[in-house]
Structure 1
Amino acid sequence: MDKEFVTHSPEETIAAGRRFAARLEAGDVVCLAGGLGAGKTHLVKGIAAGLAIDPDRVQSPTYTLIHEYEGEGGLVLYHFDCYRMSSPQEAREIGAEEYFYGEGICVIEWPERIAALIPPEALWISITAPDKKTRKFVTGKKSL
Structure 2
Amino acid sequence: MNIVFSLDQIQEVAKKIIARNPKKIILFNGEMGVGKTTLIKELCKTLGIKDATSSPTFSLVNEYYTSNNQIVYHFDFYRLNKETEALDMGVDDYLYSGNWCFIEWSEKIAGLIPEEHSIVNIQLKADGRRNLELI
Q: Same fold (TM over 0.5)?
A: yes
Residue aligning to 1:35: 31
The DSSP-based 3-state class of the residue aligned with 1:112 is helix
Q: What is the aligned counterpart of 1:76 among 71, 75, 82?
A: 71
CA-CA distance at 1:126 after TM superposition: 1.1
The DSSP-based 3-state class of the residue aligned with 2:2 is strand
Residue aligning to 2:132: 137
Mark the CA change 1:18 to 1:49 in structure 2 (over 3 Å): closer, same or farther. Answer: farther
Q: What is the aligned counterpart of 1:47 among 31, 43, 61?
A: 43
Deviations 1:116-140 (A, max 9, x none): 1011111011111013621111122
CA-CA distance at 1:46 after TM superposition: 1.5
Name segments (4+ residues, structure 1) moved above 2 Å. Answer: 21-25
After TM superposition, the score normalised by the length of structure 1 is 0.86
Alignment pair present for 1:18 and 2:11:
no
Residue aligning to 1:4: 2
The DSSP-based 3-state class of the residue aligned with 2:28 is strand
Measured in 1, the distance between the counterparts of 2:108 and 2:33 equals 17
Deviations 1:94-117 (A, max 9, x none): 111111110310000011111110
- What is the root-mean-square deviation in Å for CA atoms of aligned residues? 1.7
- Do the aligned residues in 2 keep the contact of 1:14 with 1:45 (CA within 8 Å)? no
Measured in 2, the distance between the counterparts of 1:23 and 1:102 equals 21
Residue identity opposite 1:86 in structure 2: N
After TM superposition, the score normalised by the length of structure 2 is 0.91
Alignment: residue pair count: 135
- Do the aligned residues in 1 keep the contact of 2:77 with 2:106 (CA within 8 Å)? yes
Identity %: 32
Alignment pair present for 1:62 and 2:60:
no
Deviations 1:23-45 (A, max 9, x none): 458x7100001111111011111
Deviations 1:7-57 (A, max 9, x none): 112x312331233234458x7100001111111011111210111113x61
- Do the aligned residues in 1 keep the contact of 2:17 with 2:134 (CA within 8 Å)? no
